[in-house]
A and B are shown apart, each in its own frame.
Chain A
Amino acid sequence: MALSQPTENICSMTTQELTQNDPISNWYPVANADDLPFRHTFHGKLLGQEIVIWRADDGNVNIWVNRCLHRGVRLSRGLNNGAELQCQYHGWRYANRTGGCTYIPAHPVDSPAQHLSCKTFPAIQSHGIIWSGISPEGVPPKLSFLDGLTPLNLRSLPAKAPADSVNEHLSKYMFHPDNQTDGEGSSLVTTKAYDNYFQITATVANSTSTLALFAQPVDEQSTIIRGVIGVPHNSQNVLTVLRYHNNLMCKLRDVIEADFELKSKISNTFAAVSNPRSATRNIANNSGSVSFLKVRVARKWSTAKDVVGLELLPIGNQQLPTFLPGAHIDVFLPNGITRQYSLTNGPGELDKYRIGVKLEQVSSGGSKYIHETLSEGSIIEISTPRNNFPLRRDSTRTVLIAGGIGATPLLAMAQVLEKQKLNYELHYFAQSDEHLAFPEILNSLGNNCIRHFGLSVEETLAKVRESLGEHNSSENLYVCGPGPMLEATRNIAADLGWPDESIHFEYFKNSKIVSFESSFEIELARSALTLNVPAGKTVLQILRDNGIAMPSSCEQGACGTCIVKVLAGQPDHQDVYLNDSEKKRGDKMLTCISRALSNKITLDI
């Protein structure tokens, strides 16, 4: 037969054998680029590992373990909204690029734990092929024979045979550059074997044609044969070429399958990745542990009067961690000052972080430094995002009220609500048009963004009252802005019958007068320790002095990072993070600022 028996006029030569790399470290083709149309999810398998492949609207190709972390349903059955992939079972959402879980609908108020992240695999698109691997080294093959030509992907063909057996046959693939003669008629076929593919050239007189063939190892008993051939730009011949090779390939597949006697021996490689026990462990183990990272200021521009936008890019191949809408980061400036800024990113936008910084009238060196000194190209350190202002996505109406630069966390929320087509309004109060930050984001929100300019205090409050209206169940308010406006909005909402739990706010500053005069004891229930907090010291400081690690961020009772459960005793809250009913319950406190009204307070630490 022509495919396996070279005839006289065919000179077949193999310049080298396929090197026997560890399959774990190879790049393999796992899909054709056009297998990923707009908002599609594609089900694949490589080395026994089921994968889901999907392209986000920003062009990024995601390749993840094909299981929802929650209950193991295949994510390839999920919904790709261009920014996040949503599982069909319970609607869990996972972000483009990181695979981080961004939303658990059964608990709309809770932020998903930071370590909840799908295991991701590398993805590179080249020559019309999507490449991946378990932990591939280097880069996918560069197919220089395609230079100056249009790459044409052959129809991918599954074969019931292991990749080794398939490769033996692929190396002997025969074809003719005229795209019609059966393999036997070729005059010269040259096969070059590279690490994990064959490059085959057929030549007759002046006519020549080259293609590359790959075996994608699906599991121990099956392989997908993939190929790419170069055709001249604007070739009229595309269908003829595809049909010709499809025909020959189908014949070759018959030979491969007939030739292959099912080997019962299962290689250890496959056993390792396809073992049902290991199939249940698919949480990425690399995320959640990073608490600080270095980023590069890639862009700094004036986005509104006295407000600069900063785009922060990761350094090297690092991936920025997942954030939730409303999250902020700490920025550690080279002058030693730390400031918190909200991310304005839309869902799944994880190639960069974007923040807005307003020049404060009385700056102690934070915003002034950013405005005047920090330049594009600088490297700065930031914290991973803190998700202390979570957005419910189960409201029938969400009202976002933004005052000035307080708009930034609400911009991230508005983009999520817009993407999910939920009912919301963003009311943005500013002095004038030129004070509106990030106008390009506001424009993307269409009529849901309502701009209010130059209103007096009374006019602003009247407008807030009108926008809120009476409260109906499942309606939520998020407000961020200057302290007085925030207080007033909370009061108006309460007056209109909005319950505490429907009013969500974020202060950037605690403008209340805080006292550190009292002294008291703290009992740590889980550590079996009793410590004394003297006047002038905070609970947080005492905890740290005694070797207890405790996260914190703003350290002024605004961000909620250092929150702990109170088991007994009465806290003296002093913070602006908890709402009135939470304060009344007294079962939580912020260690950076809250103290005790009783002599002793018991904490769940």
Chain B
Amino acid sequence: MSWSTMPVSRRGLVDTAINGEGCTDQVILNQWYPLAAIVELRPGISYQTVLLEVEVGFGVTLNGELIAWRLDCVVIPAGNPLPAENFTDKLLVQSAYGYLWTSLSAEPKELFSIPETNEPDRRSINVATIGIATSAPRAVENFLDMGHFPFVHAGVLGAEPHTEVFDYNVEIKDGEIIATGCKFPQPQAAPSSVGAIVTDYIYRVPHPYCVLLYKSGGFDESRLDVIGLFIQPISQERIRASMFYSCVDNISSDTALRRFQLGIFSQDKPILENQVPKRLPLSTTAETPIRADKSSITYRRWLSDLGVTYGVISAN
């Protein structure tokens, strides 16, 4: 069979890619993006997706090798067997934090590190990968935000009337945004927590479309849970977001951990899909920032300084 001559079916997902103008931001093209959790892939079978409006095929071979390629170069319809032999025009791939990552660039920026994942007694899982009709920056900003806890995650990550967001520190260090000293009273901070506690948070934005948080309240008080949101931008206004969870908890089942985080995820999704406009406005006068939004103000300015125009409305 000749793989390269077969037409690709244009499904809804792909239509977005065809209509858009594509991404021209070098800083965005030069990043690594997660396509799927590796454990969720059937070896030997091809998958199809869209990254930055480019159709991409990917999979894990029967030998356990990860591959990804541009569908406009090599056409293997989704669900078909992956070819045994190597083919040219492959995209760079890597396995990190349980995901298959790829880049449209031949020389991508090095992927950020999460040193905690090297601890032997930690469990790291993919909570879920979910499609959201919004831009990647809107999703990152939502993840960075504490003020919505008592309203969107009422009874879990926050509860009225405790709505105040106390001052915290934000800085840009070694090319990433770090917010420290964040505190919020939470009724149920983690699956293993009993009763309400004031939870400490640290946020990291090491990648324009990836964000991590470290929080206390887990099983071992001296060590922090790590939760990540890793985004695959399909187009400027559509994403697939993978939620990564790494914790020290030897009691809760994977299912219990997933159910807890997925519950939170599903509360954010309708909010994100009802933000207008979907692209993040970078002008300081477009929306109304308050002191509590320090990290989002920094994030918006950081995107501006990086020259990101994809998924945002530029300031000028």
- Residues of A with C-beta under 8 A to B279: 276
- Residues of A with C-beta under 8 A to B163: 91, 105-106, 108, 393-394
- Residues of B with C-beta under 8 A to A395: 161
Contact check: which of B145, B274, B291 meets A77 at CB < 8 Å? B274
Given contacts A280-B283, A394-B164, contact A105 B147 (CB under 8 A): yes
B299 vs chain A, min Cβ distance (A): 13
B271 near A88 (CB under 8 angstroms)? Answer: yes
Complex CA distance for A70 and B275, rounded to whole angstroms: 11
Complex CA distance for A299 and B12, rounded to whole angstroms: 63
A546 vs chain B, min Cβ distance (A): 31
Over the window 160-171 of chain B, the binary record of Cβ atoms lying under 8 Å from chain A Cβ atoms (1 yes, 0 no) is 111111000000
Contact check: which of A71, A72, A393 meets B161 at CB < 8 Å? A393
A89 near B152 (CB under 8 angstroms)? Answer: yes
Over the window 429-466 of chain A, the binary record of Cβ atoms lying under 8 Å from chain B Cβ atoms (1 yes, 0 no) is 00000000000000000000000000000000000000
Contact check: which of A73, A108, A394 meets B275 at CB < 8 Å? A73
A449 vs chain B, min Cβ distance (A): 20
Nearest B residue (CB) for A115: B288
- Residues of B with C-beta under 8 A to A107: 164-165, 290-292
Complex CA distance for A74 and B288, rounded to whole angstroms: 15
Tell me if A243 is interfacial: C-beta within 8 Å of chain B: no
Tell me if B286 is interfacial: C-beta within 8 Å of chain A: yes
B162 near A394 (CB under 8 angstroms)? Answer: yes
Tell me if B85 is interfacial: C-beta within 8 Å of chain A: no
B287 vs chain A, min Cβ distance (A): 6
Nearest B residue (CB) for A90: B147
- Residues of B with C-beta under 8 A to A73: 271, 274-276
Tell me if A474 is interfacial: C-beta within 8 Å of chain B: yes
Nearest B residue (CB) for A396: B161
A480 vs chain B, min Cβ distance (A): 22
Tell me if B3 is interfacial: C-beta within 8 Å of chain A: no
Tell me if A279 is interfacial: C-beta within 8 Å of chain B: yes
B290 near A276 (CB under 8 angstroms)? Answer: no
Tell me if A412 is interfacial: C-beta within 8 Å of chain B: no
Interface of chain A, main secondary structure: loop
Complex CA distance for A70 and B283, rounded to whole angstroms: 13
- Residues of A with C-beta under 8 A to B271: 73, 77, 88-89
B181 vs chain A, min Cβ distance (A): 16
B274 near A74 (CB under 8 angstroms)? Answer: yes
- Residues of A with C-beta under 8 A to B281: 72, 280
Contact check: which of B147, B151, B290 meets A88 at CB < 8 Å? B151
A413 vs chain B, min Cβ distance (A): 14
Given contacts A90-B151, A91-B151, A280-B281, contact A106 B274 (CB under 8 A): no
B32 vs chain A, min Cβ distance (A): 28
Interface residues of B (CB under 8 A from A): 141, 145, 147-148, 150-152, 160-165, 270-271, 274-277, 279, 281, 283, 285-288, 290-292, 313
28 A–B contacts from the bound complex (CB under 8 Å):
A67-B276, A71-B275, A73-B274, A74-B274, A77-B270, A77-B271, A88-B152, A89-B148, A89-B151, A90-B145, A90-B147, A90-B151, A91-B151, A107-B292, A108-B164, A276-B277, A276-B313, A277-B313, A279-B277, A280-B277, A280-B283, A281-B285, A281-B286, A393-B161, A393-B163, A394-B163, A396-B161, A422-B161
Interface residues of A (CB under 8 A from B): 50, 66-67, 69-74, 77, 88-91, 104-108, 116, 276-277, 279-281, 283, 393-396, 422, 474
